[in-house]
Amino acid sequence: MYRIKLSQCCVGEEEAGAVADVLRDGYLGCGEYVFAFERALESFFCDNVKVACVSSGTAAIQLALQAIGVKSGDKILVPSITYVASFQAVSAIGATPVACDVDISTGCMNLEDTCRKIDERVKAILYVHYAGGFGDRERMLNLAQNEGVRLIEDAAHSFGSLCNEKLIEERSDVLCFSFDGIKNITCGDGGCIVSNDNDVIDKVRIYRRLGIKETRDVITGECDFEIKDQGWRYHMNNLNAAIGIEQLKKINCFRDKRRRLASIYCSELNSSVVKLLDMDIKQTMPHIFPVLVADGKRNSLREFLFGQGIETGLHYKPNHLLSKFAGDKCPNAEEFGKRVISLPLHVSLSDQSVTEVCWLVNRFLMEGY
């Protein structure tokens, strides 16, 4: 339907072959391929971190929060500009997501508003790496540390991005990635929790399998199992893991392509009519390419591009405007939500297509057609 799609996965013969191998092996559940993908991710991050793979990025956030001890009635601070998955993952364990405002320049959580909303019921900040960037993360980490709350990173957009030159920054606590169909690497569906806190990873491995903790009697060798906590059926399966293993091998090529396309947008969009996000493209593996246009022009620009066969996206409607998550006003998030438009970005997109989108966006915003 669209000539130029907003996003698209890039899978080929390698992924098809890996899936066929799993089918031939005959065990499709959580097994060797999942454990191999976890090991591959650990060596990719190569910083003494442990990885637990799960069925989605949403499940990763929910289990990470449960593993740090978040309970029903606790509050979690979440930026209003994020996919609704961040909010639903919090409410799934009975905690209350509290929407915080964002910085217009980055789309990431605003420090002052977050600080204002911390009280004794707040157990964690869920910090979203919006569009693959890190925003005011350093100061947010300081705030979390000073206030004695955990900082969980919703890194669904930032797989492959560098923070302070590293894939996993030293001060990181728990990160949650998504491998859904359009993410920087995909498993079809999937996600993972990354942490150097072994306790978190050990707990996630139990919670993802219905809370089952297996035991073996050291003398008799007899196996048994015990359930102490609420668990879920959130493990990753071998089919998804097999796709992920092949995708991870292509990360450098995917990253170069995404960076190059984003750089073309940065140099060819006219800065007098389009506001780019404040983000260092050379350090980032951009997942989406949101820009801000003048209030009142966004919807007509979308319609114009639709007429040209170009798909665009809205990342995101502010979550505090949804009935379930209604809360305090977040004025920046509301302005951002009205002005933001995401332009096509994926590995199969050509440089020429991006140049064409830039030309059309500039022409529409400057000349009105």
Ligand X SMILES: Cc1ncc(COP(=O)(O)O)c(C=O)c1O
Binding residues for ligand X, rule: CB under 6 A, are: 56-58, 82-83, 85-86, 128, 154, 156-157, 178, 180, 191
57 vs 244 by CB, closer to ligand X? 57
125 vs 156 by CB, closer to ligand X? 156
DSSP assignment of 252-272: HHHHHHHHHHHHHHHHHS-TT
126 closest CA partner among 166, 97, 101, 102: 97
- Residue 263 Cα to chain centre, angstroms: 21
86 vs 364 by CB, closer to ligand X? 86
Torsion-angle region of 184 (φ positive above 0: left; ψ -120 to 50: alpha; else: beta): alpha
The least CB distance from residue 183 to ligand X, in Å, is 7
The least CB distance from residue 347 to ligand X, in Å, is 17
Amino acid code (one letter) for 144: A
The residues, ordered by sequence, that sit 6+ positions from 12 with a Cβ below 8 Å of its Cβ are: none
94 closest CA partner among 81, 75, 110: 75
The least CB distance from residue 35 to ligand X, in Å, is 20
The least CB distance from residue 179 to ligand X, in Å, is 7
85 vs 291 by CB, closer to ligand X? 85
Tokens of 210: 């219905």
Angle at alpha carbon of residue 204, lines to 200 and 208, rounded to 5°: 175
- Name the closest residue to ligand X (Cβ): 57
57 vs 337 by CB, closer to ligand X? 57
CB 247 within 8 A of CB 187: yes
Residue identified by tokens 């009935």 is 323
109 vs 144 by CB, closer to ligand X? 109
The least CB distance from residue 155 to ligand X, in Å, is 8
Three-class DSSP category at 107: coil
The least CB distance from residue 118 to ligand X, in Å, is 22
